Structure formats: C-alpha cells, structure tokens
Structure 1
Amino acid sequence: MISACFGDIKGEQYDTEQPKLELSAYFDGPIKAWGIIQDRSGNITTRFDVEIIGQWQGDQGILDETFRFYDGKVQTRRWEITKIDGLNYVGTAGDIIGEAKGKAHGNAVYWTYTMDVPVDDTHYRLKFDDWMWLMNDDVLINRSYMKKFGITVAELTIFMQKQSNEPSNPSNP
C-alpha cells in the first residue's frame, strides 16, 4: 500500500537531461544486460542475464530479447516498436496484452503495458510502469514497477550496455 502512495514519476523532469535517449539509436545492434526482480519486501527473487539484438529501419524497430535466468530457464520476447512522432512510441510482443505505449523525455523513456507473467504453475496479469534512463558509457538503467490493482507487487531492475557492432579482432588491440 505504501508504494502506491508515493505517486507516479513525472517524465517532464527529465526533458532537458543528457545524454538524450533515442530508442532507435540505442536499440540498434547488440546489447548485454543483467537484471533482478525484487518482491514487495525488497528481497531478490530472480536474477537473469539478457541478450538483445535491435534492428531499426526508419520508424520501425524490432528487438529480439533472450532472457537466461539463473535457475536455468530461458525466455524469449520479440518486440515490434513504431515511433509515432518525435516523442511517442507504440510496441507489441507476444506476451504483451494489447499495445505498449511509450514516451521519450530527454534521457528517459517511459513505457506502460500489461503482461501475463508466469509464476510457477500460474499466470498473473500485471501492469508495468517501465522507466529507462540513459547514462554515460552506453549504459541504460531500466526500472519496472509491476502492479496489480494499482499496488506495486514487484520491481525489476535491468542494467544494459550497448555492445560494439564491430567484430572483435584479437590481432588489433
């Protein structure tokens, strides 16, 4: 209940922050990521690594994500994202209910969507309030607040780092 009382993050506070997050630039090419899920008490319940490959053509983007959980499970997701105008986006994926909606604010992007989340032998329909902030050194921090009936029941944190599109060349240090 307490987390519901703190109010929503206001995107306008990031409008002038740098470096500017342009989804089509950041999510074009390979990205490595590491994440955790915390229950509402703050306990880490899940750890995972993610490999993301993004491709953009104009205002259309595809993100292929492979989640490798530390318990051995693997999950994939394919996002199809459309840039509507300079600030607004919509996206779909197989496990997303309807469309995800996003808005850019300087160094941040806000996403909201609903997903059926598998937990053990059942699924929970949760609303995600998803914030991404671009940092220096091609690092992006993603915070997701998972809500049921408006109450935050879990939080997800992912640290991403954009990788070079160039193949490594061991003979050229």
Structure 2
Amino acid sequence: MRALIVLLFALCMAGCTGTDVRQYAAEQPALELSDYLNGELEAWGMFQNRSGEVVKRFHVALTGTWQGDVGTLDERFTYSDGSTERRVWTLRRQADGSWRGTAGDVVGEAIGEVSGNALHWRYQLLLKVDGEQYVVDFDDWMFLMDQRVMLNRARMSKWGIDLGQVTLSFYKPVK
C-alpha cells in the first residue's frame, strides 16, 4: 500500500511540472510584445474538447496600442455560430521583465514571461457556457514564428482536470 501511495504522489508531482519558458531563450525571432501586438492583427482559432472534437471555431480582430510599457489589446471575437464577444486586455511589463495582464473576464491577473520567441501566460478566466459562468484555468503558450505569424496553444482546465485546448494562429500584416 505504501508503494502505491508513493507512486501516486510521484505521478501527481510529475503532472505539476511543466516546460520552462527559458528553454526558448535562444529561439528567434525574439518576441517583443509591444512590437508584435501593436496595430491591427487577425487570428483564427478553435476550441477542442478533451477528446479532440472541435467544438467551436472563431475569428479575432485585434487592435493593440502602447504607451511605454503599458499596452491595450482590444480583441473582437466572431464565432462560427455567429455570436460575438469582446475582451480588452491591459498588459504591463514589470521591472523584472515579466508581464501582468488584466481583462474584464480574467480573475485577478494573468502572469506571463517572455523568453526568446515564446510567451507563457497563466490565468483564470470566467467562461460563459449555456447561461452559466465557470472559472477555468488557462496555461497559455505563444510562439512567434516570423514577423507576421504567431502560434498559440492554451490548455484549459478546472481543478487540474483537462477540459480542452484552444489553438490560434495570429497574423500581422507587415507594412
């Protein structure tokens, strides 16, 4: 019985460890949020439930503006069922180089770290489903591929139970 408890504890601890964003420090192009998330962008995405079924598809029109180390990111979602949603982020670079973000449906603050071409965000979101609201956890990774394209994959969970994944492809026209 004791061996079983030790094994379960080890499995739980292994599940708590994750990828460290610093492993991407040498990856190029380097992501500078205030550069990439500045101006007009578009993104296309989908939500897949934990069995991999695509449940929702969407398009996002984004506008980013900056004043020093504080940015506003206005996201306007249009879903495949015709419904719409808007989220306005306030992003703040911290003295240590990390990022904090707030939005109306984010519980507390999103905490992020950039290294090389990668951004790793963690936050809780108020998610509306069938007239109900749930607080869900997001483990969100973004990777700058080139000056125009950034890929995003986020794991959504509740009490550590995987609910599904959000995948997005951002596109920024280069002038």
Distance 1:137 1:92 in 2: 25
- For normalisation by structure 2, the TM-score amounts to 0.88
Distance 1:122 1:153 in 2: 16
Structure 1 runs (4+) greater than 3 angstroms displaced:
4-7
Q: Which runs of 5+ in 2 are unaligned?
A: 1-10
Residue number in structure 2 paired with 1:12: 22
Larger Rg: 2
Q: RMSD value over aligned CA atoms?
A: 1.7
Confirm or deny that 1:82 pairs with 2:82: no
8 Å CA contact retained: 1:62, 1:79: yes
- Among 114, 117, 123, the alignment partner of 1:113 is 123
- The 3-state SS of whatever aligns with 1:66 is strand
The amino acid of 2:78's aligned partner reads R
Residues 48-57 or 155-164, more deviating: 155-164
- The 3-state SS of whatever aligns with 2:22 is helix
Give the number of the structure whose residues are more often helix, by fraction. 2
The amino acid of 2:141's aligned partner reads W
Q: Deviations over 1:16-52 (max 9, x none)?
A: 1001011000000000110000000011000000000
- The 3-state SS of whatever aligns with 2:23 is helix
Residue number in structure 2 paired with 1:156: 166
Residues 74-83 or 135-144, more deviating: 135-144
Distance 2:121 2:166 in 1: 13
The amino acid of 1:103's aligned partner reads E
- For normalisation by structure 1, the TM-score amounts to 0.89
Residue number in structure 2 paired with 1:44: 54
Distance 1:53 1:158 in 2: 16
Q: How many residues align?
A: 163
